[in-house]
Structure 1
Amino acid sequence: MTSVATTLKDRLPATIRTERLVLVTPTMAHAPAIAQLCNNVNVHKWMARLPFPYHLSDAEFFINEIVPSAAEACFAITRDDELLGVVGLTFAADGTPELGYWLGEPHWGHGYATEAAQALVAAARAAGATRLRSRALQTNAASRNVLKKAGFVETDTVVEASNNLAGKTMVLMRLEFDER
């Protein structure tokens, strides 16, 4: 009998439910809402990898290429079947997954990002992750607070070398799970 090694992505649940939210794999049905919410300068200014302007074709690329890749575990954040944003893990070469998320501007300030981040952190821990990392712009106090509420601690700062945030100071954050 041979055993098949599974990755952390394979061990994550397909659906994560919280009190108010359902986190599911993004599908083409989500593409129009993703495009609409991401095509917003107030969302884009905080994001390292988000193109702007953001078109339906960008959402389709995300769903067809990024979502199924081994390097990402992506979840659409939904409430009552309405897409609010996306939360996920990027699997880094050093073995420490990086948590990232975005919410559409109409959904800011309602605790959805915190609820989604906490749910994914719990799912990652249950799936065997021993630590996570994240980062946020130093000027993005709201995102840093979301991550702190999810258990992350600030560890360092770095000036972003490339992408949309090149030249800006990022706060690096880490979450170590207690071994139990």
Structure 2
Amino acid sequence: MDALKDSLPATLTTDRLVLAMPTLAHASDIARLANNRRIHEVMSRLPFPYTETDARFFIEQIVPSPEELCYAILGDATFMGIVGLTFADGSPPALGYWLGEPYWGHGYATEAAHAVVIAARQAGCPALQSRALLSNAGSRNVLRKVGFIETGETVDEAGTLAGQRVMQMRLEFAA
């Protein structure tokens, strides 16, 4: 998966957004937006409360890790959320994202996810996977809009969503 990760661009640009590596300059905005119970309740790896120490750990440890490719979602240089891919041997990369609540309902998550999907396809990725809580209709809708299909329900086994029902989703790229 390192080859795929290394072939993806460091920055993506859409009509309204720039997706770039999160930096320490984003830490206070990440902490402010991620410290939201409504976001925490739908994310399996987001602690709550979420502090600037958590944001720094994310930027310094998670972002550079070989298993992650993270982009800050920026609109007019304003930090709005995170989108990216998680890589695990033996399975397609997993698309994940979160968006600060003030930015919900404006199509930003769909636009950011679509940019990552296009970049993954252009880099030669054969498929992507994702998942969302059954109760998270908004996230499932974002994933459907960018081409994912629902492949079945399961129960999350780990993280803050352990024991909750999730919809597994997959996107296959035509050869």
Short-chain TM bin: over 0.9
Give 5+ residue unaligned stretches, structure 2. none
Bigger radius of gyration: 1
Q: Match for residue 163 of structure 1? A: 159
Q: Match for residue 33 of structure 2? A: 37
Q: Match for residue 128 of structure 2? A: 132
Q: Match for residue 112 of structure 2? A: 116
Q: Match for residue 147 of structure 2? A: 151
Which consecutive segments of 4 or more residues in structure 1 shift more than 6 A? none
The total of aligned residue pairs comes to 175
Q: Match for residue 56 of structure 1? A: 52
For residue 6 of structure 1, report the CA deviation from its aligned partner: 5.7
Distance of 1:155 and 1:86 partners within structure 2: 24
Give the percent of matched residue pairs that are identical in Structure 1 and Structure 2.
59
Q: Match for residue 85 of structure 2? A: 89
The 1:6/1:53 distance shift into structure 2, 3 A limit, reads closer
Q: What TM-score does the superposition give when structure 1 sets the normalisation length?
A: 0.95
Q: Match for residue 11 of structure 1? A: 7
Distance of 1:95 and 1:47 partners within structure 2: 20
For residue 128 of structure 1, report the CA deviation from its aligned partner: 1.0
Distance of 2:66 and 2:11 partners within structure 1: 18
Distance of 1:165 and 1:12 partners within structure 2: 29
Distance of 1:7 and 1:62 partners within structure 2: 23
Match for 2:66: what amino acid? A
Q: Pairwise CA RMSD of aligned residues?
A: 1.0
Distance of 2:35 and 2:121 partners within structure 1: 33
SS in 1 for 2:154: strand
Distance of 1:140 and 1:120 partners within structure 2: 21
Q: What TM-score does the superposition give when structure 2 sets the normalisation length?
A: 0.98
| 1:14-58 CA distance string (max 9 Å, x none) | 110000000000000011000000001011111000000000000
SS in 2 for 1:73: strand
